[in-house]
Amino acid sequence: MGRLIVVSNRVPSDGPPSGGLVVALHDCLKHNGGVWFGTSGDIVEDPEDSFAELSGDGYKMRTFDLSPAEQQGYYLGYANSVLWPLCHRRADLMALNAGDYDVYDSVNRRLARMMAPELRPDDHIWIHDYHFLPLAACLRAEGVTATIGYFHHIPFPATHDLMALPQRDLFAGWMASFDLFGLQTQRDVAAALEMFRGLNGAEQLRDGSISLNDRRFEIRSFPIGIDADAFVKEAQSTDGRSLLNFAPDERLVIGVDRLDYSKGLDNRFRAFGRFLENRIVDEPRASLLQIAPPTREDVDAYQQIRDALEGTAGKVNGEHSDLGWTPIRYIHHAVPRDTLAALYRAADVGFVTPFCDGMNLVAKEFVAAQDPADPGVLILSQFAGAVEQMASALIVNPYDIGEMAQALKQALAMPLHERQDRHEALARGVFRNDVAHWTQTYLDTMARISTERAALT
Ligand code: GDG
């Protein structure tokens, strides 16, 4: 294979790579050689039309700055206030500000213009996420012929919601400019195929690929995984319970999410409140530890969710606390990764209840962190992409407060042999389909497509 070219919104240029996805991409780049392109994180008045170059251990990192107007229109505006809600079934939250799309488009064009002279025809270009949906079309316009893959980390939008996107007529063309359009789940692939079924000029070919005008490309699912082995080591590094001021028999329910409206946090707190209402007084107490670091706080919808959640936590705690106990502990800042891993391991229940989620890595991290001899129970929303691979979790409907409260009761009362059986089935998938497997499968598919294309020319 030629060089690997990675594009992601942020290049992880500050310090050693950390986090499963970043480390996995770093390892692939180190192995194949190549370039990682993306923003530097710096906002400057007049960003130049050129890249800074950094060394990335066997590969190059090329970063570019954004102007304040680009940060607003491209990142906070079109990417996170239009595409993010659109893809998470919240078309009602789309902030359709005239001009944001133009800025988003111009950042993609500028990036394509800067990248094109550095690319070679045998490169394999792997573009990550909704910040760069039009990037392949922009690169093709610059004459780039290399194989281009894309991975959509978030859900594919419902066809009905897509009709609310002013750029709906461009969407299919953006997708068709890639050679491989990767999605998290079969459910997402079905949604994407449904969109093409209704589209004039589009056809699904016998080999499953889609043809649109003069382009032919594939839509496939690649469920992302975690670095499960590394996570086990982190989870074992500290005794999680020693970090908490807990009574010896107090039970721990854990939630970990960026504070985002897609994660269903308010309903989760309500469900925990309902569970407490139904609790038998002599039962050991259970507390909910919710870690929810802030994210995109400059976007209105995120301030609203913060206010709502603080209100619900206050209400539940006001009703159920006593002098020595606060049932919901809500931490609105990030904790170190090894602390997080140790807390997962100490928890009796992982409470993962998004309304809509591409995959949800927290569910996989919780499973990897457990002690197989005495594992905790995973409660998982039917709307997390992870559910396709994690049928042995307790699956819940995050809109149904009563069902979630009942699942908490069931999880906390679950006998050891059932917890072990469920955990064994879940862990098998998490360790087998880890992030290294994911990158390898994706890159193998790109390599196959590139060989097939070469044979046709
Ligand atoms: C997007 C898609 C898809 C959270 N709090 C802390 C912390 N985290 C880490 C978790 C986990 C990651 O952040 C969150 O990943 P998720 O997958 O749960 O969700 P998104 O951030 O929305 O990610 C999602 C993912 O992309 C990958 O394709 O699964 O569906 O929405 O790793 O552990 N990490 C640390 N401290 C915290 O306080 N260190």
pTM for the full predicted model: 0.96
Q: What share of the chain is helix, strand, coil (3-state, %, to 5)?
A: 45, 20, 35
Contact of 366 with 376, CB cutoff 8 Å: yes
Task: Give residue 224's Cα distance to chain centre.
Answer: 9
Q: Looking at the annotation, which residues are catalytic? A: 153, 357
Distance 340 CA to ligand 1 centre (A): 12
How many angstroms separate the Cα of 446 from the Cα of each of 78, 217, 302, 407? 28, 11, 36, 41
Q: Is 185 exposed, middle or buried (0-12, 13-18, 19+ CB in 10 A)?
A: buried
Distance 366 CA to ligand 1 centre (A): 12
pLDDT at residue 208, as a whole number: 87
User: Closest ligand 1 atom to the C-alpha of 21?
Assistant: 27
> Cα separation of 274 and 405, whole Å?
6
Pairing of strands 210-212, 202-204: antiparallel
Contact of 296 with 263, CB cutoff 8 Å: no
- Residue whose C-alpha is closest to residue 430's, from 314, 323, 304, 344: 344
pLDDT at residue 282, as a whole number: 77
Pairing of strands 52-55, 34-43: unpaired
Distance 361 CA to ligand 1 centre (A): 6
pLDDT at residue 39, as a whole number: 96
pLDDT at residue 109, as a whole number: 97
pLDDT at residue 21, as a whole number: 85
Residues with CB under 6 A from ligand 1: 153-154, 224, 256, 258, 291, 293, 334-337, 340, 357-362, 365
Distance 368 CA to ligand 1 centre (A): 15
pLDDT at residue 296, as a whole number: 84
User: Closest ligand 1 atom to the C-alpha of 331?
Assistant: 38
pLDDT at residue 246, as a whole number: 87
Mean pLDDT in order along the chain per 10 residues (457 residues): 91 76 87 92 91 88 96 96 97 95 98 97 96 98 98 97 96 97 98 92 92 95 95 92 89 96 97 94 89 87 88 96 93 93 97 98 97 98 98 98 97 97 98 96 96 87
Using CA positions, which residue lies closest to atom 37 of ligand 1?
334
pLDDT at residue 184, as a whole number: 98
How many residues in the chain?
A: 457
pLDDT at residue 302, as a whole number: 86
DSSP category for residue 322: B
Using CA positions, which residue lies closest to atom 34 of ligand 1?
337
Mutate to test the pocket of ligand 1, among 226, 337, 360 (most ligand atoms within 8 A of CB): 360
Contact of 151 with 182, CB cutoff 8 Å: yes
What stretch of H or E contains 328?
Answer: strand 328-331
- Residue whose C-alpha is closest to residue 92's, from 81, 77, 103: 81
User: Closest ligand 1 atom to the C-alpha of 20?
Assistant: 32
pLDDT at residue 283, as a whole number: 81
